[in-house]
Amino acid sequence: MKFRHCIALAVSIVCVGTAPFSSAEEEVSEVTAEEVKQDINPHLKRHSGYRLMLPSVNPTNCSDPELFDRLLMQILQTSGDAAATSANLDRLEKYEESCRKLRKDSRLSYLDAQNKQRLDKQKEENTAKKKLEQHKH
C-alpha cells in the first residue's frame, strides 16, 4: 500500500473514532457498518464521495512546489470515507506523473534545442574553416 493511502486510511479511522481498550483481553464487540456510519462526524459524512478538482497539467501548475501539498491537504480535509480518499489520492498520483512527464519532456526539448544550436554552430564553423582553407590553397 502506498504511503499516502496509509495516511488516508489513518485519517478515516481517526474520523470514525475508536475507544482504547482497558485491557488486551477485553472482548471486541462487532460493529456494523450502519453503526460506523452513524458515528461519523456529520460534516465529514456530507463530504463523502467528494471528487477533487485538479488544475490543468501545464508548466505553470507543474512547477508550483506547493501545489501537491495543497491538493493533498484538500483531499484529507474533504474526503469523508476511505474509498473517496483513496480514489482522490490515485487521481493526484496520476496528476503528479503527468506533471513529471511534462517537466521531463520540456527539459528534454530544451536540451534538444540547445544541442541542435550547438551542432548548427559547429557545422557553420567547420564550413567556414573549410572555405578558409580552400581560399588559402
Which letter does DSSP use for residue 119 in this model? H
CA distance 57 to 95: 7
* Domain assignment of residue 118, yes or no: no
pLDDT of residue 80: 67
* Domain assignment of residue 69, yes or no: yes
CA torsion sign, 37 to 38 to 41 to 46? positive
**Structural domain range at position 9:** 3-20+29-102
Q: Which three cell numbers stand for residue 101?
A: 512527464
pLDDT of residue 28: 44
* Domain assignment of residue 121, yes or no: no
pLDDT of residue 110: 76
pLDDT of residue 34: 53
* Domain assignment of residue 114, yes or no: no
Q: What is the pLDDT along the chain (137 residues), one digit of tens a residue?
A: 455 555 655 555 554 444 444 444 444 445 455 554 444 444 444 444 567 777 777 777 777 778 888 888 888 777 567 777 888 888 888 888 888 888 888 877 877 778 888 888 988 888 888 888 887 76
Number of domains composing the chain: 1
